[in-house]
Structure 1
Amino acid sequence: MGTRVLLRRVRADDEARFLELAEASEGLHRPWVRLPRSAGEFAAYLARFDQVTAVGMVVCPRDGGDLAGMVNINEIVRGSYQRGVLGYAAFLPHAGRGYMTEGVALAVRYAFDQLGLHRVEADIQPGNVESLRLAERLGFRREGFSPAYIKIDGTWRDHERWALTNES
């Protein structure tokens, strides 16, 4: 738990509010990320989170319990890698209040302390200035650039690769 937010696993009873906020925030997310837009897409989204290869969470302001955003730890690889890839997005009207910085920091701590990961990565489109700033605030380092790296909404998009390692 953070000082202003808490992080918890996303669950089926979040569906209505999650979809409502994702739709209201679509302009904020485009073209950076595509969130579920229907009950079927939300069910598929939840099904991805097997707690082994992926964990899905929501960021909630402590003063109201609404959903301020989402954070996923995807593509968890064990063995000699011990790494996962972050995905995150803020929801309006909560964007710009620092909730996601605190929520993503909690997710990174969870990845290191609870999941035992050594490395957390974030793949960020070069034009997504807010996401790049968030990664920098949390101490992520830029490790490279990958052209046409991830297909989002039918388009192959360039991404910068950022990472943070657990040195403890």
Structure 2
Amino acid sequence: MSIDYFQRGDRVAIRHLTPADRAEFTRLAQENRELHHPWISLARTDEEFDALLARFADHEVRQGFVICLPETDELVGYVSISNIVRNAFQNGTLGYGAFVSGRGLVTEGVGLLLRHAFDTLGLHRLEINVQPANTGSIAVAKRLGFRLEGVSPDMLFIDGAWRDHERWAITADLVTG
């Protein structure tokens, strides 16, 4: 299989999310619903996937990626950069999730995206917002060198309620390799 990945690591690679990912992405989102609840709600239907893909149409503001096993192109996770702001800020908000957990594949994929964001996109800072009880997502952030900057009460409306989120950030100077 010859896929053009723009970042490749030891075990995973990343590429942009495409319409061809619809069936596998929605199937995996359905199968892993409990893994993501109550933290996030992934696109589980064709309509939700198409809406997700449409949000990534303006690459200047947001970009969506899949984390894959390069030998098979099997999806193991996803990662996105949204709220990209240029000029003096050079900042974006990072989101990520796993279809395969406990093996470090998403951590490696997010690490690849950090290099892309800082080296290729020229961003200076990336932030993530994580519910305090989401220990898996916080572990990814810690492994990659993000620093805790504070808590935002009632930040996002998720699963029927306003949820507090911890704000984690990393700057380009903290990412090596």
Coarse TM-score class (shorter-chain normalised) = over 0.9
Scaled by the length of structure 1, the TM-score of the pair is 0.96
Structure 1 counterpart of 2:32, one-letter code: S
Alignment counterpart, residue 48 of structure 1, candidates 37, 47, 55: 55
The residue aligned with 2:27 is 20
Scaled by the length of structure 2, the TM-score of the pair is 0.91
Q: Give CA-to-partner distance per residue, 1:61-107, whole Å, 9 cap, x none.
A: 1232200010000110111110000100001xx21111001000011
Structure 2 counterpart of 1:107, one-letter code: L
Q: Find the residue that maps to 1:104 and give its secondary structure.
A: helix
Q: Find the residue that maps to 2:121 and give its secondary structure.
A: coil
Instruction: Give the count of matched residue pairs.
Output: 166
Measure, in 1, the Cα distance between the counterparts of 2:151 and 2:62.
Answer: 24
Measure, in 1, the Cα distance between the counterparts of 2:124 and 2:154.
Answer: 27
Structure 1 counterpart of 2:71, one-letter code: D
Structure 2 counterpart of 1:97, one-letter code: R
The residue aligned with 1:131 is 137
Measure, in 2, the Cα distance between the counterparts of 1:48 and 1:134.
Answer: 25
Deviation at 1:33, TM superposition (A): 0.7
Whether the 8 Å contact between 1:120 and 1:165 is mirrored in structure 2 is yes
The residue aligned with 2:83 is 75
The residue aligned with 2:5 is none
The residue aligned with 1:120 is 126
Alignment counterpart, residue 143 of structure 1, candidates 138, 144, 149: 149
Measure, in 2, the Cα distance between the counterparts of 1:105 and 1:116.
Answer: 15
Measure, in 2, the Cα distance between the counterparts of 1:155 and 1:123.
Answer: 16
Q: Find the residue that maps to 2:74 and give its secondary structure.
A: coil
Measure, in 2, the Cα distance between the counterparts of 1:12 and 1:153.
Answer: 27
Q: Which runs of 5+ in 2 are unaligned?
A: 1-7
Q: Which runs of 5+ in 1 are unaligned?
A: none
